[in-house]
Amino acid sequence: MTFIVTSSNGNLVVLEDGRVFVPASEYFPEPVDEGCTPLTSITRFDVDEFTRTYGHAPATAVDILDLGYWWDTVEGVEQYEPPAQDWRTMMAGLGMTGGGK
């Protein structure tokens, strides 16, 4: 089972355990938006936090802002980027809760 993580820099295919199925470097050789974590450095997504929050696993497609993820810095240090809580709050205010399509 896989799902798609969508972002303004492109989409990633992710396995149900959160690992990136196809390395993004095959699709995105260079970072696209300055100041953003390059998709090429994302190693896995926090499916457990997502499931605890919404009560179900990610659906077919999920916005990257709705998922925490781990990524490797240029120095090879793993970092964690939590979900964007302000984005989740905004989506809930629009009646669009549930995490994904």
Q: What is the pLDDT of residues 62-90, one digit of tens each?
A: 999 999 999 887 777 889 999 999 988 88
Extract the tokens encoding 64: 């990257």
Q: What pLDDT is recorded for position 14?
A: 94
d(C-alpha 75, C-alpha 65), whole Å: 24
Distance CA 31, CA 54 (A): 30
Distances (CA, A) of 42 to 1, 38, 62, 64, 99: 19, 7, 15, 11, 20
Q: What is the DSSP letter of 38?
A: P
Domain spans of the chain, in order of start: 2-93
Report helix, strand or coil for 66.
Answer: helix
> Which band of pLDDT confidence, cut at 50, 70 and 90, is reported for residue 18?
very high
pTM over 0.85: no
